[in-house]
């Protein structure tokens, strides 16, 4: 039986379940390992591109709700579509995707979620009327469009992709359940939380109750609370890096010698 080196306490690496898309989970896994966590990938959603027509109407702004939507739309519309238009991105991650595509966002809100965006965007417009094209997923975009309309923005919504529950083999579900409970289960969108419940069925409530929960932002946290799942961690900076930093602050404490160790009392 292996034991910890003499004079050195064994350091527990908290397990963190990642429920997002493969691309999001791959990036988060690397960052979690560097931060001292043990990532567990259990993808609950897949992204399905939708067929769409590039609008020919005139717009003052194009608003992107996600990086994935930005990639799909720019590929179909081309960069020439943005001539004479300004671009808004809901979050720095979406902004980085646009910059890689050769487009520089004119506006990124201070708070990266769809609840705060309409109010910040209205202040950016300085009470001027504007017509905007909102490029979004199939689910969730309708609420954002309504909030933009109430903020005085004439918004047309274009859904360019859908999120659907991942097709997880039953053997994979059994393996995941046998590894629980986990220190943390994280959710990066309302759809990842809903799909988690669909995939695990009756096993989901017990696993959620036995683990600490984390939501990437207020919109996801609100969806979880509606189902009776209360997230212990909701970062103020709503990005993958912000979520990991919030997990560190929640579960690590400084002890002698400046070493960071798992604090199981929290």
**Which runs of E-coded beta strand occur in 211-259?**
212-215, 252-254
pLDDT attached to residue 254: 40
Q: How far apart are CA 20 and CA 45, in angstroms?
A: 6
User: Is residue 157, in this structure, part of any structural domain at all?
Assistant: yes
Q: How far apart are CA 142 and CA 206, in angstroms?
A: 32
Give CA 36 to chain center in angstroms: 21
Domain boundary among 95, 130, 162: 162
Q: Is pLDDT above 80 for 115?
A: no
Q: Is pLDDT above 70 for 215?
A: yes
User: Do residues 66 and 114 share a domain?
Assistant: yes
pLDDT attached to residue 266: 43
Q: How far apart are CA 85 and CA 188, in angstroms?
A: 30
pLDDT attached to residue 153: 87
Residue among 36, 2, 42 nearest 185 (CA): 42
CATH of the domain at 227: 3.40.50.10090
Reported as half-sphere exposure (CB side, CA atoms, 13 A), residue 152 has a value of 12
Domain boundary among 162, 196, 231: 162
Structure tokens belonging to residue 51:
């067929």
User: Do residues 103 and 194 share a domain?
Assistant: no
In which band, very low, low, confident or very high, does the pLDDT at 11 lie, cut at 50, 70 and 90?
low
User: Do residues 158 and 54 share a domain?
Assistant: yes
Average pLDDT over residues 130-144: 86
Residue among 129, 125, 132, 135 nearest 152 (CA): 129
Q: What is the mean pLDDT of the chain?
A: 87
Q: Is pLDDT above 50 for 265?
A: no
User: Do residues 19 and 119 share a domain?
Assistant: no
Average pLDDT over residues 138-157: 83
Contact 215, 233 (CB under 8 A): yes
Average pLDDT over residues 108-119: 76
* Domain region containing 122: 48-162
User: Do residues 99 and 229 share a domain?
Assistant: no
Contact 105, 85 (CB under 8 A): no
Q: Is pLDDT above 70 for 224?
A: yes
Q: Is pLDDT above 80 for 114?
A: no
User: Do residues 52 and 148 share a domain?
Assistant: yes
pLDDT in tens, 232-264: 999 988 889 999 999 999 987 544 444 455 554
User: Do residues 121 and 186 share a domain?
Assistant: no
User: Do residues 96 and 155 share a domain?
Assistant: yes
Per the listing, tokens 């994979």 go with 172
User: Do residues 86 and 177 share a domain?
Assistant: no
DSSP label of 204: H
Average pLDDT over residues 162-173: 93
Give CA 76 to chain center in angstroms: 24
Q: Is pLDDT above 50 for 197?
A: yes
pTM for the model: 0.83
pLDDT attached to residue 251: 80
Phi, psi at 109, each rounded to 5°: -70, 160
User: Is residue 9, in this structure, part of any structural domain at all?
Assistant: no
User: Do residues 87 and 31 share a domain?
Assistant: no
Structural domains of the chain, count: 2
User: Do residues 140 and 186 share a domain?
Assistant: no
């Amino acid at each position: 039986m292996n034991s910890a080196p003499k004079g050195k306490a064994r350091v527990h690496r908290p397990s963190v379940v990642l429920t997002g898309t493969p691309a999001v989970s791959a990036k988060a896994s690397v960052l979690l390992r560097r931060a001292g966590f043990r990532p567990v990938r259990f993808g609950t959603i897949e992204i399905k591109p939708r067929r769409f027509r590039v609008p020919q109407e005139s717009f003052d702004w194009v608003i992107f709700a996600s990086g994935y939507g930005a990639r799909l739309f720019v590929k179909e519309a081309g960069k020439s579509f943005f001539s004479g238009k300004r671009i808004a991105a809901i979050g720095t991650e979406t902004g980085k995707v646009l910059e890689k595509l050769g487009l520089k966002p004119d506006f990124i809100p201070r708070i990266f979620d769809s609840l705060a965006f309409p109010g910040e965007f209205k202040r950016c417009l300085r009470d001027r009327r504007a017509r905007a094209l909102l490029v979004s997923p199939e689910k969730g975009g309708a609420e954002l469009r309504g909030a933009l309309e109430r903020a005085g923005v004439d918004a047309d919504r274009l859904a360019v992709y859908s999120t659907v529950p991942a097709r997880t083999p039953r053997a994979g579900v059994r393996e995941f359940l046998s590894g629980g409970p986990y220190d943390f289960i994280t959710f990066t969108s309302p759809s990842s939380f809903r799909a988690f419940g669909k995939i695990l069925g009756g096993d989901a409530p017990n696993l959620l109750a036995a683990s600490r929960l984390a939501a990437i932002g207020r919109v996801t946290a609100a969806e979880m609370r509606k189902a009776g799942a209360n997230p212990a961690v909701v970062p103020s900076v709503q990005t993958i890096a912000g979520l990991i930093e919030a997990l560190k602050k929640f579960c690590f404490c400084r002890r002698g010698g400046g070493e960071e160790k798992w604090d199981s009392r929290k």
